[in-house]
A and B are shown apart, each in its own frame.
Chain A
Amino acid sequence: MTTVIRTEGLVKRFGRTRALDGLDLDVEAGTVHGFLGPNGAGKSTTIRILLGLARATEGTARIFDDEPWGWASALHRRIAYVPGDVSLWPNLTGGEAVDFFARLRGGTVDRAAYTERRARLMQEFQFDPRVKGRAYSKGNRQKVALIAAFATPADLYVLDEPTSGLDPLMEQVFRREVDRVRADGATVLLSSHILSEVEQLCDRVSIIRAGRTVESGSLGELRHLTRTSVSFATNGLDPAAISALPGAHDVAVDEARVRFTVDSDAVAALLPELGRLGVQGLTVEPPSLEELFLRHYGDELAATGAEEAPRA
């Protein structure tokens, strides 16, 4: 597999603050790569460097084996970009803006094909192209960028929180479009903090925190690092027998159910033991992305909670 995006030790300083602090990111061709992190973690800064809009203070960034700052406009022939907060020209309509971006990206060379793609996207996104930019709502401005991105084929789609402001129906349309371009062999970098979206769409995920990559891999690989939750009906089972189950952590027993967590790679060893106990109403839940995410940020939540407490 070839690598489409590779950054090594990316550092970006704004005055004294370090927005990026040695960020590493690898995105393989043909994959949808989730780029996760809370606000301010450095997702948008990374994307701006990848697009050649900002220059890294240190480290290297390469897209299609080219350096984005120097080769921005050549690279952009192969890239579609959707920002998280779209601004439009107040006196141009949404339809004009879509056409303008398509022309800049050379997407209108095949007029008939472009017109067909544009019409299909406008219908699916239920978009009114005749309204002036200043009159669109947040969600409609977002649609302009999404339609412009998907109306011209690209090799790489850089999507920075693309669904902010969209309703759930439109999110569905968006997911279909991502699936479509993946099927066509394109690569997608999807920055998001909507975890269900990432879980559903992404092949691989990088989690960043304070300008660094803290976790990277397929969802399966990441899940190995955390615990699976297990629960079953109490049914008068002997508490001692439950405590003796191999690999069980944080056991909690109440009148109705027994709950505990187990290391994800120890689940197979546990199942025969559960069978011997004859448990009923068994549920085994793999860790959600949310749990993965909270594992990395949980301490930060606790820390900010502690900081804010005296003020309140």
Chain B
Amino acid sequence: MNGFGALLRQRLRRDRWTLLWWILGTTALAAIVPGAIGSSYGTEAERAGLLQLTAQAPAILIFRGTPNGADEGAFSFFLIFAFLGLMAGLMNTFLAVRHTRAEEEEGRAEQVAATPAGRITPTIATVAHGVLADVVLALLVAAAFAGGGLPVSGALVTGAATAAVGIAFLGFGLVAAQLFRTSRAANALSVAAVLAAYVVRGIGDATGERSADGLHVTPGWASWLSPIGWAQLANAWNGDDWVALLLPLGFGLLLVLAVLGLQRVRDLGASLLPGRRGRASAGPVLASTLGLAWKLDVGVIVAWAVGGLFTGLLATSLTPLVDAIATDAPQVGDTLQGIAGADGTIEQALLTTFFTIGGLLAACCAAQIVIKARQEEARGTAELVLATPVGRVRWLAAFLAVAAIGAVLALAATFLGAVLGTASIDDPSQALRDSALAALGQVPAALVFVAIPALCFVLARQATIPLTWALLGLSGFLGVFGELLGLPDWTHDLSPFAHAPTPQGDDYDWSGGWWLLGVAAVGIAAALVLMRRRQVAGDG
């Protein structure tokens, strides 16, 4: 295989930082689990209590895994494995598309294929690259669990299962790259497939059959449709079933073979599905910068709104858990009571927690849209628009307006999810009232994240993107977890989410909301005024 070594080295070199972050991030996720279990669910009885609790609201299993015993190892696998599979899946599909379709799209593949390496070797090198990354991931994940004091054999199974999910999706990513003309379409299909694998497995767990003691679940048939579901059958620390891993590995191998077959007959740059042709002329929306900002961002809004919908669904559908928590897991009950405040009910605390996450999603939506303005500037399309009779201030204002609309729509979707979630409650009036107030209360907090990225954009354009996400991440962390982790109050107070009005009993205090609205309004106005004096950069 001509040039295989050079191609593999080039891939490793190109991805050294990207993969480092993916692998370390996934490993970190694994590494925090043993410690977290020690502090929150130290005894077998507590763990058994939580597992039995999930029988009351099986929906919660969508976000966890298959209950399979209360000992520390099996409980860790239950808590975190589906997330590890999700991360490994995303890492691998991005990797596969990055080195195949993206290269073809940019025309670089052509230059490589014109060397003795040819059309096929680059794909084989990509497979080797992905497998290598998965092996490293497997070893680090295993080391993380073993280092946390869990039995080594189970740790190795967990690592191997994570890698097996990765390899299954490596194959999937390569197939997606064969199907579409653009890397964007291939990535979109792959991400959808990974998320679907995660959710489908969750449905399998939630609809599974529970054992008499309530500690074990046999997943439903849906889990058999998902590579993450297959890998979960390995049941680390409770049987260590290595054979189950042959399923995802075989799936990956089959897809890789299919891809190599396809590449023998496919022209370089061509795709199995024809590239979609678009409109010959612009529709009525595309008549102003506001229309442009809307058209560029409507996909972003839909994506965050779907996230909000699911968050809202959980906010109310988990209510039946509350009674069980109070009796079975008093610790969790105390924490929730802390969030609710002295006047609030535990139901309100649960609801508020989910709506704060909804607010965070809405803030992410707003921030991502404002960041688009920066991306327009860096790409050069902003310059083309600003060379027409559109002023700088009006151009930025269009993105800020769409960001605000996006945040409101994301929260509206969260509320809609909550309304749907009340279907299982006998008397939903209280839950509906609390949901409406909680959703409304998050709007000012989310709007602050129209102002913050706008100010970053105007004052520190190069740093807009990292600075925005860093501030948002910090605010989310302090706002959602600050109290749970027992951090000092003043750090908690730094986060806009800490000041969002929440329903407490029959009270609803809007003073924090006014403050947040004031901060957002002043920030947005300042950004627009400063924009009058800011130059538009032609390059990065």
Residue numbers of A with Cβ under 8 A of B are 44, 48, 51-55, 72-74, 76-77, 79, 81, 83, 85-93, 95-101, 103-106, 129-132, 134-135, 145, 158
Contacts and interface: CB of A to CB of B under 8 A. Distances in A.
Given A51-B386, A130-B279, A131-B275, 9 more contacts: A87-B384, A89-B296, A90-B184, A95-B280, A96-B282, A96-B286, A100-B287, A134-B182, A145-B384
Contact of A76 (B280, B292, B388): B388
Contacts of B276: 132
B486 interface: no
Given A53-B535, A54-B535, A135-B181, A130 B389 contact: no
B281 A129 contact: yes
B281 A55 contact: no
A131 B282 CA distance: 13
Contact of A95 (B181, B282, B295): B282
Contacts of B105: 134
Given A104-B385, A106-B389, A48 B538 contact: yes
B387 interface: yes
Nearest to A105: B388
Contacts of B536: 53-54
Given A100-B282, A130-B278, A134-B184, A55 B296 contact: no
Contact of B538 (A44, A72, A132, A158): A44
A96 B389 contact: no
Interface of B: 105, 181-182, 184, 275-283, 286-289, 292, 295-296, 379-381, 383-392, 394, 535-536, 538
Contact of A131 (B278, B288, B389): B278
B125 to A, nearest CB: 26
Contact of B391 (A44, A72, A129): A72
B446 to A, nearest CB: 25
A81 B389 CA distance: 11
A96 B387 contact: no
Nearest to B386: A53
Contacts of B275: 131-132, 135
A98 B278 CA distance: 13
B396 to A, nearest CB: 13
Given A90-B184, A92-B278, A129-B280, A76 B387 contact: yes
B278 A99 contact: no
Nearest to A51: B387
28 contacts: A44-B538, A48-B538, A51-B386, A53-B387, A53-B535, A55-B535, A72-B391, A76-B387, A79-B387, A83-B383, A83-B387, A89-B292, A91-B296, A92-B286, A93-B279, A93-B280, A95-B278, A95-B279, A95-B281, A98-B282, A99-B282, A100-B287, A101-B384, A104-B289, A104-B385, A130-B277, A130-B279, A131-B278
Nearest to A53: B536
A104 B390 contact: yes
Contacts of B535: 53-55
Contacts of A53: 383, 386-387, 535-536, 538
A117 B357 CA distance: 52
Contacts, number: 113
Given A55-B535, A87-B384, A135-B181, A74 B389 contact: yes
Contacts of B381: 87-89
A132 B385 contact: no
A55 B392 CA distance: 13
Contact of A93 (B181, B278, B379): B278
Given A83-B383, A89-B381, A104 B388 contact: yes
A103 B286 contact: yes
A131 to B, nearest CB: 7
A104 B281 contact: no
Contacts of B283: 96
Contacts of B394: 73
- Of B181, B282, B385, most buried by chain A (CB within 10 Å of CB) is B282
B407 to A, nearest CB: 22
A74 B181 CA distance: 41
A135 B387 contact: no
A83 B182 contact: no
A236 B180 CA distance: 73
Nearest to B107: A137
Contact of A101 (B277, B278, B281, B388): B388
Nearest to A54: B535
Nearest to B299: A91
A104 B389 contact: yes
B292 A72 contact: no
A104 B278 contact: no
A73 B380 contact: no
Contacts of A135: 181-182, 275
Given A76-B387, A95-B279, A100 B392 contact: no
A48 B535 CA distance: 10
Contacts of A54: 535-536
A20 to B, nearest CB: 14
A83 B388 contact: no
A130 B390 CA distance: 26
Contacts of B389: 73-74, 76-77, 104-106
B277 to A, nearest CB: 4
B391 A96 contact: no
A79 B387 CA distance: 8
Given A73-B391, A87-B379, A104-B390, A96 B278 contact: yes
A54 B380 CA distance: 14
A53 B280 CA distance: 30
Contacts of B295: 92
Contacts of A74: 389
Contact of A83 (B289, B379, B380, B390): B380
Nearest to A115: B281
